[in-house]
Amino acid sequence: MSTKSSTILFVASEIEGLLKTGGLADVAKYLPIALKSQGHHLCLIMPFYRTMARRDEATFIDNIQINIGQSFSKTIGVWQLMLDGIPVYCVEQAEYYDRAQPYSEGEYGYPDNGERFAFFNIAALEIAAYLQLNIDIIHCNDWHTALIPYLLKTHYANHPSLAQVKTVLTIHNALFQGQFERGQFAMFGDLMTPLVDYLVDGYQCINMLKVGIRFSDKLSTVSPNYAKELLTRLGAHGLHEFFQQRHSDLHGILNGCDYSDWNPATDPLLPAHFDQTNLEGKWQCKLALQQQLELRQSTSIPIFGMVCRLTEQKGFYLLLPALEKFLRHRIQVVIVGTGDSQIVQQLNQLQQRFGDKFRFINTYSNTLAHLIEAGSDFFLMPSLFEPCGLNQMYSLAYGSLPIVRGVGGLQDTVIDYDQQSDDADGLIFYQPDSSELLNTLRRALLLYLEEPEQVMAMRQRGMHRQFSWQDAAEQYNQLYMDVLN
Ligand SMILES: Nc1ncnc2c1ncn2[C@@H]1O[C@H](COP(=O)(O)OP(=O)(O)O[C@H]2O[C@H](CO)[C@@H](O)[C@H](O)[C@H]2O)[C@@H](O)[C@H]1O
């Protein structure tokens, strides 16, 4: 595909390698890298969080005074880091971003998150103008950046360097909408006043994602199937009418998988390496995982792994009752994650009852995530909804067969054994129902015990599949061309 080189400002609240709480960070790193390799000029903007990695390496660029109306004035420091040859500008504003965590302490978001991220949107535009970045497109991501399209079409509509800038908003998870009491936006005065006329929830709240859906030039989400789901009442988290109004501008582009970080043949986080021609190293990883977690060491016992944020989205209320029964079999289950305290408590209780075969590690560990992908036989993703999902792609690359619910991007990436046995690389269930999940877990166990050649063929097929960021970047490139013409 021919590429017209554009200058793209990618704005995200987290970026892998600097700060990550979930899959958004992966996309905010790997998609810009792929776009750059296709000839675009890229730069990124994120907040200068206290907990950011590589903070000490950042170079101070300048202070910018941001004045809005008569009464609002704040100074930001602009810092710069390089990430794989791409400049990342970080917004320093101690009152907003120099906090213990990026979004929340404990389970509840910071009460001023609306103000913090509205300010981040304004700051991103002010930096683009001040540094004369000559931007063609601002690529926004999720609610944290969703006011940018609105600001460009209102306050900055006649700005000498921003008036022509186009926007794309990518939705990574439409459940998170950034809905805040309108008082949080009051200090921005006239800048936000039109919002109150347009888009209010219950008359008192501004829903930042809705604003982005309304004002962005193009919309995308992270898989074709989730794009379809967003047009339905069931799948759109209350926003179906807004998505329906913009359906011709909404595109589903499947995320890629970064095979430089996720390659079992070279992965420095693994104790042994393997590829589809020789899985010997995988069994060594399995034994190492069992040893590290003090589980019985045996390559013949199937391991079911899971790594994720502990939230309802990831299907724990289907999984927990199913595991109660499934753990009676000769299997091992390993779950790593952080999040909801009730899920933590229930997983801890399960571990007390099935201590010889179930491990729950309540931590965030990239090293353990890689070892689980490599050492598991099956990987669990019984999500209630899943815009794309990255772990099923990692598990396919690592020869672990994904067991997924057929929703969102999981449906787009996994091929079920019973539906298409010649092409299969995993198992799918559909109903959000514990007993259907349990049946599928048992289907997987039976396959493992009775058809080892099939299991091996499925592993190899999965390891062969490629979900490339280059393919995704080509589709975004098309979207950019459409939006600029
Ligand atoms: N305890 C832990 N230890 C180590 N690593 C952990 C971890 N918990 C999570 N991770 C890592 O965080 C990432 C999670 O990515 P996902 O895409 O699965 O989910 P998430 O729901 O955050 O992302 C949202 O955005 C992405 C990106 O668009 C969509 O794929 C997804 O469907 C949508 O919900 C993976 O790289 C995973 O390994």
The verdict on the CB of residue 170 being under 6 Å from ligand 1 is no
* Residues 223, 92 share a domain: yes
Query: What is the chain's pLDDT, residue by residue, as a tens digit (485 residues)?
Result: 556 799 999 999 999 999 999 899 999 999 999 999 999 999 999 999 999 999 999 999 999 999 987 778 999 999 999 999 999 999 999 999 999 999 998 778 999 999 999 999 999 999 999 999 999 999 999 999 999 999 999 999 999 999 999 999 999 999 999 999 888 888 888 787 777 666 666 667 889 999 999 999 999 999 999 999 999 999 999 999 999 999 999 999 999 999 999 999 999 999 999 999 999 999 999 999 999 999 999 999 999 999 999 999 999 999 999 999 999 999 999 999 999 999 999 999 999 999 999 999 999 999 999 999 999 999 999 999 999 999 999 999 999 999 999 999 999 999 999 888 899 999 999 999 999 999 999 999 999 999 999 999 999 999 999 999 999 999 999 999 999 98
The verdict on the CB of residue 254 being under 6 Å from ligand 1 is no
* Residues 478, 452 share a domain: no
The verdict on the CB of residue 261 being under 6 Å from ligand 1 is no
- CA Rg value for the chain: 23
* Residues 475, 443 share a domain: no
Give how many domains the chain has, as a whole number: 2
* Residues 292, 229 share a domain: no
* Residues 451, 393 share a domain: yes
Question: Assign residue 210 a region: left if phi > 0, alpha if psi is -120 to 50, beta otherwise?
Answer: alpha
The verdict on the CB of residue 387 being under 6 Å from ligand 1 is yes
The verdict on the CB of residue 23 being under 6 Å from ligand 1 is yes
* Residues 308, 455 share a domain: yes
Nearest CA to ligand 1 atom 15: 23
Provide the CATH number for the domain around residue 243. Answer: 3.40.50.2000
Whether 275 is covered by a domain: the verdict is no
* Residues 338, 478 share a domain: no
Distance 20 CA to ligand 1 centre (A): 9
Taking alpha carbons only, the member of 403, 361, 400, 364 closest to residue 381 is 403
* Residues 478, 391 share a domain: no
Whether 270 is covered by a domain: the verdict is no
Distance 105 CA to ligand 1 centre (A): 19
* Residues 97, 235 share a domain: yes
Domain range for residue 76? 7-256+469-484
Taking alpha carbons only, the member of 337, 386, 392, 409 closest to residue 366 is 337
Task: Say which residues have a Cβ less than 8 Å from residue 84's Cβ, sequence separation at least 6.
Answer: 29, 33
Q: From the alpha carbon of 255, which atom of ligand 1 is closest? A: 28
* Residues 113, 185 share a domain: yes
Distance 281 CA to ligand 1 centre (A): 26
Distance 469 CA to ligand 1 centre (A): 16
* Residues 314, 187 share a domain: no
* Residues 303, 421 share a domain: yes
Task: Say which residues have a Cβ less than 8 Å from residue 158's Cβ, sequence separation at least 6.
Answer: none
